[in-house]
Amino acid sequence: MTDTFPRIAVRRTYKLYVGGAFPRSESGRSYPVTSSAGDHLANAALASRKDVRDAVVAARKAFLGWSGRTAYNRGQILYRVAEMMEGRRSQFAEEVGAAEGVGKARAQALVSAAVDRWVYYAGWADKFGQLLGGANPVSGPYFNLSEPEPTGVVGILAPTGSSLLGLVSVLAPVLTSGNTAVLVASEDAPLPAITLAEALATSDLPAGAANILTGRLSELAAPLAGHADVNALDLAGAGGLAAELEALAATTLKRVRRPGGDDWDDTDPGLSRIKPFLEIKTVWHPIGR
Amino acid sequence: MEIFEYAPAPESRAIVSIRPSYDLFIDGEFVESKSDERLVTVNPADEEPLAEVAVADDADVDRAFAAARRAFEQVWSRLPGAERGKYLFRIARVIQERARELAVLESLDNGKPIKETRDVDLPLAAAHFFYYAGWADKLAHAGLGTRPLGVAAQVIPWNFPLLMLAWKVAPALATGNTVVLKPAETTPLTALAFAEICQEAGLPPGVVNIVTGAGATGRAVVAHPGADKVAFTGSTEVGREIARAVAGTDKRVTLELGGKGANIVYDDAAIDQAVEGIVTGIFFNQGHVCCAGSRLLVQESIADELLARLRARIERLRLGDPLDKNTDIGAVNSAAQLARIRELAAAGQAEGATGWSPACPLPERGYWFPPTVFTGVTQAHRIAREEIFGPVLSVLTFRTPEEAVAKANNTPYGLSAGVWTEKGSLMLWTASRLRAGVVWSNTFNVFDPASPFGGYKESGYGREGGRHGLEAYLD
């Protein structure tokens, strides 16, 4: 007769999400992540400035493809992300609960809101263009049309204090218009971001459209803000670094969304986070015979 | 050989009376500067001084912002939109009534041909005020905020002095903001004439304040703590400085900066129209245009034919007296700009490109540069990468549409581009791939107050013109 042993659980390794793959940091480093109560949860990858550069390269490579998808297709893929999250509800709720120190019911509510936010922005993909563009009545024989286009590669510093809902609330609006993103997850609560990456990876989102890094804000934010191939910055989670990062961004005249003014519980933020990462292109053509 | 010689057809300058000296325009009046410093603005066509203007110092700038703040709080932001609009309609009308005078003044101060000031700068400046006047009481329908920001600090360039003033002042005033505006050092005169127009229109004192000066005055204006909004048109270098200076503040910023526009000509283009468009793209306003089509990208199979026709067309351009109604190319605006153009043209030769200019006698006095075309240009050459801001065209070739787009986008700038093809699908494909804020297809360098204008990438951010242009001034 053999002894019966309790099964040893298979723990997850939390890695980065770059170019559709899940690499460890090129630096080989990791850092311990604790719950809001101080209990050890896992080791997360401690990304380096080289990881930032790799992520920007992946995001740039993905830009033409993702921005070239039809708006309808982008909408479907964002909706697919909601579907993928729905299937992992309990995992997200557990991580959010541990990270934010909220009870089960609140954690569940936060996950629900995050899922719904993807659905919300999925619906925006093929609508903002008509609201923000259109024909211009110029005084001459010209067809003249203005259309919004995605700005390009957007660097996002995810908000602190809202590890999943805040994260989704900054990432989804950037993706819905066709931008690609390099996102630095909340330093203290990065685990929901990596679980989100696993949902993204199975949602038909093209590799590199969203890239997620975990690590020290103080180490990753400056190389991202100063990178010449990043077109825009969302400083939602920049905290005290915001002014310094905005000044760095000025070197290549990045569009900057300054921190503040956000209510993650708002279920209808409208275009407030879509518009800052758009360009207006105006095309002229003569009319004649 | 000329079959028909052109007789001189000069526009009379008697219509303009330029004062020997101008003060600052603050709080509805011309007031002396606190500084003793003055600068002289010259006619770039003959280097003769036109007038002396004040150089505003920090104390002057303070006074201008105080006046603008007072006017914002006590008058302008309280005025019903319909009434604000009526002031702007008045201004539009006065500009129309004084258009010929202002056109001559602009040509004298800037050096650009009267044909352009008369037919482009002035009609567009008046139209811009007329357009935004109508928005003043309809802001609630624009899908934007409806509250003005406060006092706008505005700094404008010398290439379209009055038109750039209109682009800045009209939307700011229509939305209920007041302004402190600094015109360019070398072209202050039409802005000062505009100050008189504000008086003539009965605009409440302090709504528009105009402080003249050079770089130091401009820096004081954009850095002033009383500015809620900074709007700048000019070089990318200064744009960066401004973006850095406002970092960490609540100030809103729009920047309209440099460009290195690509003009793509496909092998099926209507070639004579394309030649006209290339000429308009680079020689309009002596090439002092941020959205100039300064890089010609021509499909290899038609390059020889196109260039032959382009040279023949350029040989017909008339360079000379800006006030002559037959003049196509006027004077370069300043000695400094001429030096910059010469330096880059020399770099083009030194780096191995081949320069060509028509036989073109240049006037003995003044700042002049002949229309110039460089062939054999590679993407690495300075003349393919840097904004020359002069009548210098760099020609590159391509074989496939993909290559054309890759080369067009291979620049940190993203202001304008042109596409010449008779094939609609190729035009739309190309336009959608170009990373530029304005794409002219089968045309170039056309502008309209209803059409948003502004750049991608390092050409700046924000749009001027149209409904989109309101956004920069509303909260």
pLDDT per position as a tens digit, B52-108: 999 999 999 999 999 999 999 999 999 999 999 999 999 999 999 999 999 999 999
Name the band, by pLDDT with cuts 50, 70 and 90, for residue A1. Answer: low
Tell me the CATH number for domain B13-257+456-473. 3.40.605.10
| Domain(s) of CATH 3.40.309.10: residues in chain B | 262-441
Say what the alpha-carbon torsion angle A12, A14, A19, A21 is, to the nearest 10 degrees. Answer: -20
Please answer yes or no on whether A138 and B448 come within 8 Å at the CB atom: yes
- Chain B residue with minimum CA distance to A278: B456
Q: Is B11 a catalytic residue?
A: no
- Listed in order, the ranges of chain B carrying CATH 3.40.605.10 are 13-257+456-473
Nearest to B243 among A244, A250, A284 (CB): A250
pLDDT (average), residues B163-192: 98
Task: Check the CA dihedral B294-B300-B306-B308 and report its sign.
Answer: positive
- Asked if pLDDT for residue B1 goes beyond 70, the answer is no
A131 interface with B at CB cutoff 8 Å:
yes
Q: Min CA distance, A98 vs chain B (Å)?
A: 33
Token pair for B172: 């700011």
Mean pLDDT to the nearest integer, A40-60: 98
B360 labelled catalytic: no
CB contact under 8 A, B468 and A286: no
Mean of pLDDT values over A106-117: 98
B296-355 pLDDT tens trace: 999 999 999 999 999 999 999 999 999 999 999 999 999 999 999 999 999 999 999 999
> What is the CATH code of the structural domain delimited by A30-286?
3.40.605.10
Contact yes or no for B452 and A253 at CB 8 A: no
pLDDT in the model for residue B3: 67
A129 membership: H or E segment, kind and range? helix A128-132
CB contact (8 A) between residue B243 and residue A142:
no
Between CA B178 and CA B193 the distance in angstroms is 18
- Put simply, the answer to whether A146 touches B427 (Cβ < 8 Å) is no
Domain boundaries, chain A: 30-286
Q: Does the distance separating the beta carbons of A250 and B255 come in below 8 Å?
A: no
Per-residue pLDDT tens over the stretch B215-227: 999 999 999 999 9
Please check whether residue A251 touches B, CB under 8 A.
yes
pLDDT in tens, B265-303: 999 999 999 999 999 999 999 999 999 999 999 999 999
Mutate to test the interface with B, among A149, A248, A281, A287 (most CBs of B within 10 A): A281
B262-441: CATH, from 3.30.2350.10, 3.40.50.10800, 3.40.309.10, 3.30.460.10: 3.40.309.10
Q: How far apart (Å, rounded) are the C-alpha atoms in residues B354 and B380?
A: 15
Interchain contact A140–B (C-beta under 8 A): yes
- Residue among A70, A55, A167 nearest A118 (CA): A167
Of A255, A281, A286, the CB nearest to B437: A281
Report the pLDDT value the prediction gives residue A261, as an integer from 0 to 100: 87
Q: Model confidence over A91-106: pLDDT tens digits? A: 999 999 999 999 999 9
How far B409 CA sits from the closest chain A CA (Å)? Answer: 13
What's residue B4's pLDDT?
74
Residue A141 contacts B, CB cutoff 8 Å: no
Pairwise CB contact (< 8 Å): A282 & B257: no
What's the predicted TM-score (pTM) here? 0.96
